[in-house]
Amino acid sequence: MAANPDFDLYKISEEHEALREAIRPVCENKIAPHAADVDDKSRFPQEALDALIEAGMQAPHVDEQYGGMGIDALGTCIVIEEVARVCASSSLIPAVNKLGSMPVILGGGEEIKAKYLPKLASGEAMFSYGLSEREAGSDTASMKTKAKRDGDHYVLNGQKSWITNAGESEFYTVLAVTDPDGERGRNISAFVVEKSDEGFSFGEPERKLGIKGSPTRELHFDNCRIPADRIVGAEGEGLKIALRTLDHTRVTIGAQAVGIAQGALDYAVGYVKERQQFGKAIAEFQAIQFMLADMAMKVETARQMVYVAAAKSERQDADLSFFGAAAKCFASDVAMEVTTDAVQLLGGAGYVKDFPVERMMRDAKITQIYEGTNQIQRLVMGRAVLKGY
């Protein structure tokens, strides 16, 4: 094929690069200085939330008609990536705001969108997602939480587990069985529950390995009565909406993983340039350069996979399930590997809390687990391959 000077090579748009340039100083100046303290004290990163709200980036995906920035899926991934590069806990603010609100965006009518999305866009409220239960993790269709119609209301009873930002968010998309005798998986509906609803409470915060600044708690429903107009979509459509949501938001977890990995790589590069052994910087040793080369190669590969999946998410391509699962799976495996190698490159210094790479390694692990374990991602991909994705 002859060279064509008018052929535009694949590249990130100027708008997306401008977005990165805008969010990076916010991350470095207003979020990074608090990351270690947030982790050490297991406290919510309020400074990050305030900074993101000021920048209009706490929920960048919300459409302009609801007062949001209307940033596309790729741009939202760039925001999450840049925040995760300095603080993984803080990156869960925009990531989970998207996760919690996507069912409303994908399956809700105009009335419920107009009620909740403007408050999310303004920073007045955050949005979490209640799908998993103690005995219904990967097997979501086996959930036990029930929602019974009672006139103009539904009454919820049950619990949800491993809910990110629980207690901090004002709104929760909750999945519950509405037809106990119905067909498995087609008997589940989605609802918006508000923090102030009577009969709705939270368990104690989980004591976690990583992402300690993002509270993870159970949701408890004890005859929690909510108006019937809080249903998202029609009865029985809940699980379908939930799985469509994950197709889109797994991409954002891939972005979080890329950010964590990039932050660890950046720090390791700076360290090996300064660390002296045998009379020279350890960066001059070939073994170190080979490690850095492998780390950088894998981070860049993961980034490109995430960006391609984000573009497919924006277009709602038919093969999004495969690409979203692949991006999340590969990027999270890379994050775990790269952060572990970063700890190795720092030697003893990498194992102590005076340096951030040990925190990054602990934070990276969850990206292989939540929003579908990487074993589940491989099942999703394998089925797609067999169908001829």
- Rounded to whole angstroms, how far apart are CA atoms 41 and 216? 14
Evaluate whether 58 touches 125 at the Cβ level (below 8 Å): no
Contact (Cβ atoms closer than 8 angstroms) between residue 301 and residue 337: no
| Ordered DSSP codes for 252-290 | HHHHHHHHHHHHHHHHHHHHHHH-EETTEEGGGSHHHHH
In angstroms, the CA 324 to CA 320 distance is 6
- DSSP codes, 141-155: GG---EEEEETTEEE
Establish whether 371 is a catalytic residue: yes
Label residues 185-204 b or e (16+ Cβ within 10 Å = b): eebbbbbbbbbebeebbebe
∠ CA 242-114-133, nearest 5°, is: 25
Pairing of strands 280-281, 276-277: antiparallel
Residue of 60, 54, 67 lying closest to 91 (CA atoms): 60
The helix-helix angle for 88-107 and 238-274 (nearest 10°) equals 160
Instruction: Name the catalytic one among 133, 168, 218, 371.
Output: 371
Strands 127-130 and 171-177: parallel
Identify which of 149, 169, 127 has the alpha carbon closest to the alpha carbon of residue 226: 149
Q: Cite the beta strand spans of the chain per DSSP E.
A: 127-130, 146-150, 153-164, 171-177, 188-194, 200-202, 216-227, 231-232, 276-277, 280-281
d(CA 260, CA 168): 23
Gyration radius of the chain over CA positions: 21
What does the alpha-carbon distance between residue 149 and residue 156 come to, in Å, rounded to a whole number? 9
User: Active-site residue numbers?
Assistant: 371
